[in-house]
Structure 1
Amino acid sequence: MTQISKRAGGSSGRRSGKVRLDQELIIEAALEVAQETRGATLHAKELGVRLGADPTSIYRHFRNKQHLMEALLDELNARAVRAVTAPPEHWQERLRQLAQFTLVEYRTHPAIAAEAMVLTTHGPGEHDAIELMLDAFTRAGLDAEGAVQHYALLSTHILSVASGIAIAHAESDPKSSDDAPSPWYDGPILADPRTHPRIAQCSLQLAALEDRELFMRGVDSVIQSAERIVTARTA
């Protein structure tokens, strides 16, 4: 029995009697549906079945679907921040952990991750993530302008690449294990070596690229950029 059905006293998401909905219950149910289906889209009908309510009743508690998706995305941001365990003085590791846990949450909830690059939640989860990144780059020794620039670079990288990985994973094989290989390039590059000799020369290396490894390399590149700037300034 799911957490939602336990709270309401029913089974399989269906309950007798009138359903008393609130934002917290809807968010909890939507996260469960997104995790279980692993699809690239969250359907109101599936959410209504889980809640045992008419799907239209959801929007008595959220202005529209965008408002609901903002709340869901903000909860994923909050979960990623809460999972960070490195102390503030280990700023590099805090940023790496934030990136790793964001990718985990996005891959687990791809229908919500799909909105990451088009929605700004303005919620506490988003604010906590921004605060963590700005604090980390400030502790690195960057001034306010440098901290903001590196936050923007890292945030853009995390949101865009993690959401892209999540969507690709959902569209290819949503039921596969999160530990399954995740190639960066889907299939071999069938280029004519006479016209594209460099592709032919590097075909094995291109096929070996793994999206999660590249994701973390991008995170490390932003961290290393901050370190170089501070080192050059103090040299």
Structure 2
Amino acid sequence: MPVKRSSRTALDDVSASTEKAGPTRPRLDPELIVATGLELAATGATTISVRELGARLGADPTAIYRHFRSKDDLMRALLDEVTLRAVQSVDIPAEDWRGRLRAMAGATLDLYSEYPAVGAEATILTTHGPGELGAIELMLQAFTTAGLSGADVVRHYALLASHVLSTAAGIARARAERADGEVDGPWFDEPPLADPRVYPRIAEHTVALASLRDRELFFLGVDQILDSAARAAG
């Protein structure tokens, strides 16, 4: 009759077998890859390296391409997740159309600055995902609530989207490249110094130019577009 081994001995055998086989790699899925990609982006990296992403996941980088056909597809998924978070953060009542649009713009700027490698892609990638579609719907609805109709709705949406995406992406990129990582940095890295005999207007406004800040100019552009919408609505 065989001797029954203790459960401790059996567990020791399993543990030894596991150690011999090496560490278990995580089961990859798009959600885990995106979440880990955003963790990498949050370090302030200016680009997302698939090799580094694979290392963080404890997986061969080629495994990522089983879920995303290309690096662009991966970046689209990351960008759409960031955009979705911006949309979901807007909790202002629908009737306050201006407040909703400013909140959406501000959330986009903050999230692009938090994930600069992702935000920097906003000017070149279109995601067609729920985040992007939700952002478009929110802006179109807000301008409709403002009293615009037809082509005016679409034109003001395009103006606001272009300003928010391009300016927020530029600020995010500049933040990633600055040593201090400051979100609201100066518009000019260094004050524009010029010979007043040749460039009198630059000399006249040097102090004011040096005092310009990224965030202030971002919202100045947003408010100009929203003021235009209010005037067009009568």
217-226 vs 17-26, which moves further:
17-26
Task: Report the residue type matching 2:202 in the other structure.
Answer: I
Q: Give the letter aligned to residue 28 of structure 2.
A: L
| Aligned-partner Cα distance in 2 for 1:46–1:104 | 24
Q: CA deviation at 1:19?
A: 2.5
Q: Matches of residues 34-45 of structure 1 in structure 2 within 5 Å?
A: 34-35=41-42, 37-45=43-51
Given the alignment, which residue of 16, 36, 40 partners 1:33?
40
How many Å apart are 1:177 and its aligned residue? 4.9
The corresponding residue for 1:11 is none
Give the Cα–Cα distance (whole angstroms) in 2 for the partners of residues 155 and 76 of structure 1: 15
In 1, the alpha carbon distance for the partners of 2:73 and 2:50 equals 13
Partner of 1:196: 199
Is residue 2:63 matched to residue 1:57? yes
Query: 1:96-135 to 2 correspondence within 5 Å?
Result: 96-135=102-141
The alignment partner of 1:188 has SS state of: coil
Q: 1:90-136 deviations in whole A, cap 9, x for unaligned?
A: 00000000000000100000001111000000000000000000000
Distance 1:52 1:18 in 2: 6
1:222 aligned to 217, 220, 225, which one?
225
Q: Distance in 2 between matches of 1:123 and 1:134?
A: 17
Residue of structure 1 in register with 2:159 after alignment: 153
4+ residue runs over 4 A deviation:
none
5 Å-filtered alignment, 1:133-148, equals: 133-148=139-154
Number of the residue aligned with 1:67 = 73
What corresponds to 1:205 in structure 2? 208
Q: Provide the TM-score with structure 1 as the length reference.
A: 0.88
Give the aligned partner of residue 19 of structure 2. none
RMSD: 1.2
Report the more deviating stretch, 44-53 or 117-126. Answer: 44-53
Q: Report how far residue 144 of structure 1 moved.
A: 1.9
Separation (CA, whole Å) in 2 of partners of 1:46 and 1:54: 10
Structure 1 unaligned regions, length at least 5: 1-14
Q: CA deviation at 1:222?
A: 0.6
The 3-state SS of whatever aligns with 2:124 is coil
Amino acid at match of 1:185: F
TM-score normalised to structure 2 length: 0.89
SS of 2:59 mapped into structure 1: coil
Structure 1 residue 51, shift from structure 2 partner? 0.4
Question: Larger Rg: 1 or 2?
Answer: 2
Asked if 1 retains the 8 angstrom alpha-carbon contact of 2:98 and 2:226, the reply is: yes
For the 8 Å contact 2:101–2:142, the answer to whether it is kept is yes
CA distance in 2, matches of 1:39, 1:188: 27
In structure 1, what is the Cα distance between the partners aligned to 2:198 and 2:104?
42
Do the aligned partners of 2:175 and 2:182 also contact (CA within 8 Å) in 1? Answer: no
What is the CA-CA distance between 1:191 and the residue it aligns to?
1.2
Alpha-carbon separation, structure 2, partners of 1:111 and 1:147: 31
- CA deviation after TM superposition for structure 1 residue 18, in Å: 3.0
* Residue number in structure 2 paired with 1:12: none
CA offsets, 1:49-88, max 9 Å, x none? 1100011110110010000000100001100001111100
Q: How does 1:162-177 map to 2 (within 5 A)?
A: 162-173=168-179, 176-177=181-182
Aligned to 1:79: 85
